Chain A
Amino acid sequence: MSLLRNRAISVSGAIIVATAACAVVGPWISPNDYISTDFDRLLLAPTTAGAHLFGTDDLGRDLFVRTMLGIRVTLLVAIVASFVSLIIGVAYGAIAGFVGGRVDAAMMRFVDTLYALPFIFFVILLMVAFERNFLLIFVAIGAVNWLDMARIVRGQTLSLKEREFVAAARLTGVSTGRIIFRHIAPNLIGIVVVYMTLTIPQAILVESFLSFLGLGVQEPRTSLGALVDAGVNLMEGASWTLLIPAGLLAVLLMCFNFLGDGLRDFFDARHTT
Chain B
Amino acid sequence: MSLLEIRSLSIRYADAVVVDDLTLSVDEGESVGLVGESGSGKSQTALAVLGLLPRQARIDGSIRFDGTELVGAATDTLNQLRAQRIGIVFQDPMQALNPYLRIGRQMREILVQHKLAHGNDVDARVVEMLARVGLPDAERQFRSYPHQLSGGMRQRVMLASALIAEPDLLIADEPTTALDVTVQAQILDMLEELRDNTALLLITHDLGIVAGRCERMLVLEKGRLVDAGATTSLFASPGHEHTRLLLDTAPRIDRADIPPPATGVTILGIDSASVSYAERGKERLQAVQDVSLSLRTGETIAVVGESGSGKSSFVRALLGLVPMQSGRVVYAGAPLEGPVERRAKAQRRDLQLVFQDPVSALNPQMRVHSIIGESLLVHEPLLSGGARLTRVIESLEQVGLDAGYLRRFPHELSGGQAQRVAIARALILGPKVLICDEAVAALDGSVREQVLLLLRKAQADTGLAIIFISHDLAVVRAISHRVLVMYLGRLVEIADNATLFSSPRHPYTRALIDAVPVPDPVAPLNKAPLLGEVPSPLSPPTGCVFHPRCDYAIDVCAVKLPATRDIKGSRVACHRADEIELAR
Contacts and interface: CB of A to CB of B under 8 A. Distances in A.
Interface of A: 163-165, 167-176, 182-183, 186-187, 189, 270-271, 273
B321 A171 contact: yes
B380 to A, nearest CB: 11
Nearest to A163: B360
Interface residues of B, number: 27
Give the one of A167, A176, A189, A270 with max B CB within 10 A.
A167
A174 B370 CA distance: 13
Given A187-B364, A270-B411, A172 B375 contact: yes
Nearest to A165: B363
Interface of B: 319, 321, 340-341, 345, 348-349, 351-353, 355, 357, 360-366, 374-375, 378-379, 411, 422, 425, 429
A164 B365 contact: no
Given A164-B361, A187-B365, A172 B321 contact: no
A171 B437 CA distance: 14
Q: Closest 10 A-B residue pairs measured CB to CB?
A: A186-B365, A172-B375, A164-B361, A165-B363, A173-B348, A164-B355, A173-B378, A164-B360, A163-B360, A170-B340
Contact of A164 (B319, B340, B357, B378): B357
A170 B341 contact: yes
Nearest to A270: B411
A145 to B, nearest CB: 25
B362 A171 contact: no
Contacts of B374: 169, 172, 174, 182
Contacts, number: 64
B378 A165 contact: no
A176 B348 contact: no
A109 to B, nearest CB: 19
A56 B319 CA distance: 74
A170 B378 CA distance: 11
Given A165-B363, A169-B363, 5 more contacts: A171-B319, A174-B378, A182-B366, A183-B363, A187-B363
13 contacts: A167-B321, A167-B353, A167-B355, A168-B422, A169-B374, A170-B321, A170-B341, A171-B319, A171-B353, A172-B348, A172-B374, A174-B374, A182-B374
A176 B341 contact: yes
B345 A173 contact: yes
Given A170-B340, A176-B341, A270-B411, A165 B360 contact: yes
A182 B371 CA distance: 11
B378 A168 contact: no
A182 B375 CA distance: 13
Contacts of A182: 366, 374
Contacts of B355: 164, 167-168
A100 B328 CA distance: 27
Contacts of B425: 168, 172
B411 A172 contact: no
Contacts of B357: 164
Contacts of A174: 374-375, 378
Main secondary structure of the interface of A (DSSP, over half): helix
B361 A168 contact: yes
A32 B429 CA distance: 70
Contacts of A171: 319, 321, 340, 348, 351-353
B86 to A, nearest CB: 29
Contact of A172 (B364, B365, B366, B429): B429
A87 B352 CA distance: 35
A172 B361 CA distance: 13
Given A167-B353, A187-B365, A173 B360 contact: no
B182 to A, nearest CB: 26
Contacts of B319: 171
A186 B410 CA distance: 14
Nearest to B410: A165
Contacts of B352: 171-172
A172 B376 CA distance: 9
A183 B360 CA distance: 12
A225 B500 CA distance: 79
A165 B341 contact: no
Given A164-B357, A168-B353, A168-B361, A273 B379 contact: no
Nearest to A189: B365
Contacts of B365: 186-187, 189
B464 to A, nearest CB: 16
A172 B340 CA distance: 9
Nearest to B435: A171
A182 B360 CA distance: 16
B371 to A, nearest CB: 8
A113 to B, nearest CB: 25
Nearest to B437: A164
A135 B341 CA distance: 44
A172 B350 CA distance: 9
Given A173-B348, A176-B341, A273 B353 contact: no
B375 A173 contact: yes
Given A168-B361, A187-B363, A173 B349 contact: yes
A143 B478 CA distance: 62
Nearest to A172: B375
Nearest to A188: B365
B388 to A, nearest CB: 14
Give the one of B364, B365, B425 with max A CB within 10 A.
B365
B243 to A, nearest CB: 31
Nearest to A162: B360
Contacts of A169: 363, 374
Contacts of A175: 378
Contact of B364 (A167, A173, A176, A271): A271
Nearest to A168: B361
Nearest to B363: A165
A271 B349 CA distance: 31
A177 to B, nearest CB: 12
A165 B361 contact: yes
A165 B372 CA distance: 12
A194 to B, nearest CB: 15
A183 B425 CA distance: 15
A171 B351 CA distance: 8
Contacts of A167: 321, 353, 355, 361
B379 A173 contact: yes
Nearest to B348: A173
B411 A273 contact: yes
A167 B356 CA distance: 13
Contacts of B422: 168
Contacts of A189: 365
A273 B366 CA distance: 16
Contacts of B375: 172-174
Contacts of A186: 363, 365-366
A164 B362 CA distance: 8
B57 to A, nearest CB: 16
Nearest to A176: B341
Nearest to B375: A172
A168 B365 CA distance: 15
B320 to A, nearest CB: 8
Contacts of A173: 345, 348-349, 375, 378-379
Contacts of B361: 164-165, 167-168
A270 B365 CA distance: 10
Contacts of B351: 171
A169 B363 CA distance: 10
A165 B361 CA distance: 4
Give the one of A170, A175, A186 with max B CB within 10 A.
A170
A168 B351 CA distance: 11
Nearest to A175: B378
Nearest to A186: B365
A105 to B, nearest CB: 14
A169 to B, nearest CB: 7
